[in-house]
A and B are shown apart, each in its own frame.
Chain A
Amino acid sequence: MSALTHNEPGKKRLTTSAMIASIASEGQATRPAPFGHALAALAEQRADIVGLSADLSKYTDLHIFAKAHPERFYQMGMAEQLLMSAAAGMAREGFVPFATTYAVFASRRAYDFICMAIAEENLNVKIVCGLPGLTTGYGPSHQATDDLAIFRAMPNLMIVDPCDALEIEQAVPAIAAHQGPVYMRLLRGNVPLVLDEYGYTFEIGKAKTLRTGNDVLIISTGLMTMRALEAAKALQADGVDVAVLHVPTIKPLDEQTLLAEARKPGRLVVTAENHSIIGGLGEAVATVLLRNGVTPTFRQIALPDAFLDAGALPTLHDRYGISTPAVCARIKAWL
């Protein structure tokens, strides 16, 4: 219904993008399949790395790994409960399984298996999932707008939401080196390259200031850091000075850095995430700030608490307020 009513007469109607549309904007620098290449490279160094797919290897970039290391690739079929329990069994035998599927299927369908077969025993399984948040126009069956909320309450599970190709490449060996289960959100295909400009290095559990600014502090994660950086540049032209603090590790949160940044006076604090407004980064940050008596003016950029429309990604990102122009407009309105 809304998909129709939102189209303006006379405006060219964008077609629904493919399920796995790239989030790169036109002309943006990208790298192909950073996860698949990084995992294949890591497997050269580490004999204990194995990769498991639930019939989505081509759609999670795991096929790159499978091609490089066919004997270490396990096709588990379209059976996510089995995928996670088998990954637990592999970890029990000393391997470091990267279990991959879409974020909706891991978080919604396989939850109990991740919780009891993997997390309760603190097993060394790395769960890497495509289509986090609103990164497909396919509709709610494939839009994992709730995965962070679902996973944040699971003990032992580390949660990582990388921003770009560079961060994915760095996060793969880092999460493999971490002892314990990790859930990582995945950007796949031609993934934008953004953080190279900022001399950035991913470190587990660390939030990093990518840009300083005196008027606004954006605390962002995942691809919204990319949008925050673009918005900061655009807002600079309007005389608004925006700092960006990137928080790739959502659990455990880098509370010390968050508090230090949020305590700096005179700044509007805005969280930005590719996730429902319920249960994600924004609520996590708000809790940390309140618990520590830090109370800046606080706003959230996040997806609405709703099943989202199908459609073309640029249309949807505009509609739900996570495109760069939408981020700029909302921040200006809040100032």
Chain B
Amino acid sequence: MNISPSGHAALSLAQRAFNIRRHALRMGQVQGQGYVGQALGAADLLAVSYFHALRYQPQDPEWEDRDRFYLSIGHYAIALYAALIEAEVIPLDELETYGSDDSRLPMSGMAAYTPGMEITGGSLGHGLGIAVGACLGLKRKHSASFVYNLLSDGELNEGSTWEAAMSASHWKLDNLIAIIDVNNQQADGHSSEVLAFEPIVDRWQAFGWFTQRVDGNDIDALVSAFDAARNHTGAQPRVIICDTKMGKGVDFLETREKTHFIRVDENEWDLALENLQIGRTA
């Protein structure tokens, strides 16, 4: 049984991850599209973030002592909305507005729109640099808060990510935890083929980071890695490289030809929700 630091009812992290996947699929169904492949893949690491690692108050998203969660990858907004709904930062019924005019849940994550969406993402390669500044600011304030930044493997193409990586170890930012979702998929194809990112562990270590690589769909492994990142005593930033499977939890989406934007036909949303439920109860 997991007790969330934010004081939520005790549901298992696996149940939280399931609920996050279900919220994401329902948003996709409402809009008829969305980056559900990424959301399904990242649901486990988001469940561990919001129901194990992060300190926050659902009713006060700007609580000064919260841990910050920066989503640089704006197109993962659907995944973070699902997590924020599960975390009761956003009401469940607001899910129906996803991607609609005047909704607080636009397709790409923007700070001004959504409670709990800390930064405006979308232009990739910004998040880690903003996190560096925030960590410096938190240290100036003698704050105990951490900054978590969720990046994608594609975002490692951006030179600015590496400027920030170099800076974070220069400043010994032990309050910074980067999470990299490695699903090996970016807009034009497999990330490894678009711009090879391996050896990814060696690269982050060489930049001075406390580096772990885990199966990003293994909740126990994620919990251990998040704990180790937080409790590590070295004066250095921390990175958790999470290998994830796009479409995870819905078997016909897991095996569908992988693209950056997985196509789901109109009649498939209900099937996907059923399939998710079957996988959960099996």
Name 7 A/B residue pairs within 8 A (Cβ), A-sorted. Answer: A81-B129, A85-B129, A89-B129, A90-B133, A93-B141, A116-B120, A116-B123
Interface size on B, residues (CB 8 A): 30
The residue in chain A whose Cβ has the minimal distance to the Cβ of B138 is: A93
In the assembled complex, B166 has its CB within 8 A of some CB on chain A: yes
A residues 78-107 in Cβ contact with B at 8 Å: 79, 81-82, 84-95, 97
In the assembled complex, A194 has its CB within 8 A of some CB on chain B: no
A interface majority secondary structure: helix
With contacts A77-B170, A116-B123 known, is A95 near B140, CB below 8 A?
Answer: yes
Point out residues on A near B: beta carbons under 8 Å: 50, 74, 76-77, 79, 81-82, 84-95, 97, 112-113, 116-117, 120-121
Binding-face segment, B157-165, B209-217, B222-230, B253-261: B157-165
Contact A77 B120 (CB under 8 A): no
With contacts A82-B163, A117-B126, A121-B120 known, is A89 near B170, CB below 8 A?
Answer: no
Taking a contact as CB atoms closer than 8 A, the residue among A82, A84, A90, A121 that contacts B137 in the complex is: A90
B residues 110-127 in Cβ contact with A at 8 Å: 110-112, 118-120, 122-123, 125-126
A88 neighbours in B (Cβ, 8 Å): 129-130, 133
Contact A92 B140 (CB under 8 A): no
B156 neighbours in A (Cβ, 8 Å): none
With contacts A93-B138, A117-B126 known, is A79 near B167, CB below 8 A?
Answer: yes
In the assembled complex, B79 has its CB within 8 A of some CB on chain A: no
B126 neighbours in A (Cβ, 8 Å): 85, 112-113, 116-117
Contact B160 A113 (CB under 8 A): yes
B118 neighbours in A (Cβ, 8 Å): 92
CA distance A116 to B129 in the complex (A): 12
In the assembled complex, B39 has its CB within 8 A of some CB on chain A: no
Contact B166 A77 (CB under 8 A): yes
Taking a contact as CB atoms closer than 8 A, the residue among A74, A82, A120 that contacts B160 in the complex is: A82
In the assembled complex, B14 has its CB within 8 A of some CB on chain A: no
B interface majority secondary structure: helix
Contact B164 A93 (CB under 8 A): no
The residue in chain A whose Cβ has the minimal distance to the Cβ of B143 is: A93
The 8 A-B residue pairs with the shortest CB-CB distance in the complex, in nearest-first order: A89-B133, A85-B129, A93-B137, A86-B133, A89-B134, A79-B163, A82-B163, A81-B160
* Residue in B112, B131, B163 with the greatest tally of chain A CB atoms within 10 Å: B163
Taking a contact as CB atoms closer than 8 A, the residue among A87, A120, A121 that contacts B133 in the complex is: A87
B136 neighbours in A (Cβ, 8 Å): 74, 86, 89-90
* Residue in A76, A86, A112, A116 with the greatest tally of chain B CB atoms within 10 Å: A86
B160 neighbours in A (Cβ, 8 Å): 81-82, 85, 113
In the assembled complex, B273 has its CB within 8 A of some CB on chain A: no
Contact A92 B159 (CB under 8 A): no
A90 neighbours in B (Cβ, 8 Å): 133-134, 136-137
Contact A117 B129 (CB under 8 A): yes
Contact A86 B132 (CB under 8 A): yes
CA distance A120 to B167 in the complex (A): 24
In the assembled complex, B47 has its CB within 8 A of some CB on chain A: no
Interface string of B88-123 (1 = CB under 8 A from A): 000000000000000000000011100000111011
Closest CB-CB distance, A93 to chain B, in whole Å?
Answer: 3
CA distance A50 to B129 in the complex (A): 17
